[in-house]
């Protein structure tokens, strides 16, 4: 009864719509089951596919022209989400560059904003009840609007097989287009990465097919000659490649092309989903792989030691917050403020080579460099007194010295114990000889 009442209260819903089979079925299903007006939102975040066809599909499925929203969010995606994340050098479980995770907050933000603009009661998404995306969409939505309602069809309907989906699509008059180039894998793509799940990848021991990879040349077939490039940073963000200033989206597209050409950025990973299960996925993140190494390189030159070490200690927590869907949480925002403060001096140019899947650093320079050859040289210098190191070492060793004396680890104490033992053993030997 409560569910039926909730359905009746939904008059208008904003659907995250890709134009594919699943979200087209959801579009019709929402109308059939909630008897509500449906608004579609399609975002271009650099997935490499045309988004305009989604408009025509929505129109054919009965959506009013004014209820179709299609937006190019590529610049906002890189500038307001990807760049801030890379300022933190965020990486999940030591390997994953969070390509899918970081796209969800932006999509959620626009869903909620469009709902507010159009007076919609709810938003809807096509994430399944087994994955992380349902959590990311919904945590973000409630953080932005605690009164928003969320409809997650995969948790409600009984269309839990491909056969049932196709049958429903046929009965609803949804045209099923078959593409010769369509991948058999479950894929997610944006300007940062492309991911692959399902099919043979559900066996963690099965090697991915070479034909699966779409963005990167196999490192085995990549050019035999290394390509040297430069990346310029300003306040922790990339602003130019090979001396050419680029917009955030163009910057990332260029890095992807360079990395893909040289086989950089492939990853085969078994990860821990937030919902509790393990999953195996493959990722291509060519630009991100290059960028992370370059960013850490310029930081190594410009950040104070303790500042850098504090940042590194925060990486697992920050990455986990993004992976689990807490982009809009107060703790992520607090961490971001700290991280962004550290980036004020992260300016300069990194020089590197790309070669058969490798990113090789060849140089770095910055006006904010903390590297001082006068102090670090192996040659004779006039600014550093090496004798000062003795006091530094003794002060840092003081707690070990005190603890050692307290526990009898001191060399003198050890010698006394050894002599006492030898004396005791000697007395035993004499007594033994007398008895004989």
Least confident residue range of 5-9, 196-200, 215-219, 404-408? 5-9
Residues 32 and 156 reside in one and the same domain: yes
Sheet with 194-197: strands ordered across: 186-189, 194-197, 278-284, 266-272
Q: Does 228 reside within a domain?
A: yes
**How many Cβ atoms sit within 10 Å of the Cβ of residue 335?**
18
Give yes or no: 381 in active site. no
Cβ-count burial 114-144 (b if 16+ within 10 Å, e if not)? bbeebebbbbbbbbbeebbbbbbbbbbbebb
Based on the structure, what is the number of domains in the chain?
2
Q: Which of 171, 196, 220 is the last residue of a domain?
A: 171
What is the pLDDT at residue 1? 42
Q: Does 402 reside within a domain?
A: no
Residues 234 and 355 reside in one and the same domain: yes
End-to-end CA distance of the chain: 100
Q: Does 379 reside within a domain?
A: no
Give the span between the Cα atoms of 187 and 366, in whole angstroms.
Answer: 40
Give 416's pLDDT tier (boundaries 50, 70, 90). Answer: low
Domain that holds residue 299: 186-303+346-368
CA gyration radius for the chain?
30
Q: Does 430 reside within a domain?
A: no
What residues contact residue 215 under an 8 Å CB cut-off, 6+ apart?
A: 194, 256, 260, 265, 284, 286
Catalytic position from the list 186, 300, 329, 369: 186
Give yes or no: 24 in active site. no
Give yes or no: 188 in active site. no
Residues 157 and 202 reside in one and the same domain: no
Q: Does 212 reside within a domain?
A: yes
Averaged pLDDT, 115-135: 96
Phi, psi of 223 (to 5 degrees): -50, 145
Q: Does 156 reside within a domain?
A: yes
Catalytic position from the list 121, 133, 136, 279: 133
Q: Does 51 reside within a domain?
A: yes
Domain at 150, CATH number: 3.40.50.620
Domain at 273, CATH number: 3.90.1260.10
Residues 148 and 212 reside in one and the same domain: no
Residues 154 and 208 reside in one and the same domain: no
Q: What is the mean pLDDT of the chain?
A: 92
CB half-sphere exposure, 27, CA atoms < 13 A: 30
Averaged pLDDT, 169-190: 81
Residues 113 and 197 reside in one and the same domain: no
**Tens-place pLDDT, residues 287-326:** 999 999 999 999 999 999 999 999 999 999 999 999 999 9
Phi, psi of 40 (to 5 degrees): -105, 145
Residues 165 and 140 reside in one and the same domain: yes
What residues contact residue 383 under an 8 Å CB cut-off, 6+ apart?
A: 374, 375
**How many Cβ atoms sit within 10 Å of the Cβ of residue 164?**
13
Averaged pLDDT, 220-241: 98
Residues 34 and 162 reside in one and the same domain: yes
Residues 144 and 236 reside in one and the same domain: no
Q: Does 34 reside within a domain?
A: yes
Averaged pLDDT, 136-147: 98
pLDDT above 60 (res 433): no
- For residue 65, what are its two tokens? 């022209």
Residues 123 and 243 reside in one and the same domain: no
Residues 150 and 256 reside in one and the same domain: no
DSSP state, residue 208:
P
Catalytic position from the list 22, 80, 188, 268: 22
Catalytic position from the list 55, 74, 87, 104: 104
- For residue 353, what are its two tokens? 């080579």
Higher pLDDT, 410 or 74: 74
Residues 298 and 238 reside in one and the same domain: yes
What is the pLDDT at residue 423? 65
**Tens-place pLDDT, residues 194-226:** 999 999 999 999 999 999 999 999 999 999 999
pLDDT above 90 (res 183): no
Residue 388 Ramachandran class (φ > 0 left, ψ -120 to 50 alpha, else beta): alpha
Give yes or no: 104 in active site. yes
Residue 85's closest CA among 343, 266, 415, 273?
343
């Amino acid at each position: 009864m409560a569910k039926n009442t909730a359905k009746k209260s939904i008059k208008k819903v904003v659907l995250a719509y890709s134009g594919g089979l699943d979200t087209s079925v959801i579009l019709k299903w929402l109308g059939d089951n909630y008897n509500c007006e449906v608004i579609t939102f399609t975002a271009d975040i650099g997935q490499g596919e045309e988004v305009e066809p989604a408009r025509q599909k929505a129109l054919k499925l009965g959506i009013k022209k004014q209820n179709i929203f299609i937006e190019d969010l590529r610049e906002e995606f890189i500038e307001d989400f990807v760049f801030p994340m890379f300022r933190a050098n965020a990486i999940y479980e030591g390997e994953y560059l969070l390509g899918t995770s970081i796209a969800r907050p932006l999509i959620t933000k626009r869903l909620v904003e469009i709902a507010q603009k159009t007076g919609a009661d709810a938003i809807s998404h096509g994430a399944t009840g087994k994955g992380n995306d349902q959590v990311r969409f919904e945590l973000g939505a409630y953080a932005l609007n605690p009164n928003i309602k969320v409809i997650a069809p995969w948790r409600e309907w009984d269309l839990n097989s491909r056969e049932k989906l196709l049958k429903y699509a046929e009965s609803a008059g949804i045209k099923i287009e078959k593409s010769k180039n369509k991948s058999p894998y479950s894929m997610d793509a944006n300007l940062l990465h492309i991911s692959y799940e399902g099919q043979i990848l559900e066996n963690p021991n099965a090697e991915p097919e070479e034909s699966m990879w779409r963005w990167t040349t196999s490192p085995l077939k990549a050019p035999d000659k290394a390509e040297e490039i430069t990346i310029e940073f300003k306040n922790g963000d990339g602003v130019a490649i090979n001396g050419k200033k680029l917009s955030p989206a163009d910057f990332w597209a260029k890095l992807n092309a360079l990395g893909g050409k040289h086989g950089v950025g492939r990853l085969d990973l078994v990860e821990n989903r937030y919902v509790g299960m393990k999953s195996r996925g493959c990722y291509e993140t060519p630009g991100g792989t290059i960028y992370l190494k370059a960013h850490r390189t310029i930081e190594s030159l410009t950040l104070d030691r303790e500042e850098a070490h504090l940042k590194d200690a925060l990486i697992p927590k920050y990455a986990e917050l993004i992976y689990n869907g807490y982009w809009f949480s107060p703790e992520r925002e607090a961490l971001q403020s700290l991280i962004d403060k550290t980036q004020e001096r992260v300016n300069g140019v990194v020089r590197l080579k790309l070669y058969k899947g490798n990113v090789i650093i060849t140089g770095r320079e910055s006006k904010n460099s903390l590297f001082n050859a006068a102090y670090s040289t192996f040659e004779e210098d006039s600014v550093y007194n090496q004798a000062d190191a003795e006091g530094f070492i003794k002060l840092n060793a003081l707690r070990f010295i005190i603890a050692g004396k307290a526990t009898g680890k001191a060399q003198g104490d050890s010698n006394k114990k050894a002599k006492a033992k030898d004396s005791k053993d000697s007395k035993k030997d004499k007594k033994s000889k007398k008895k004989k």
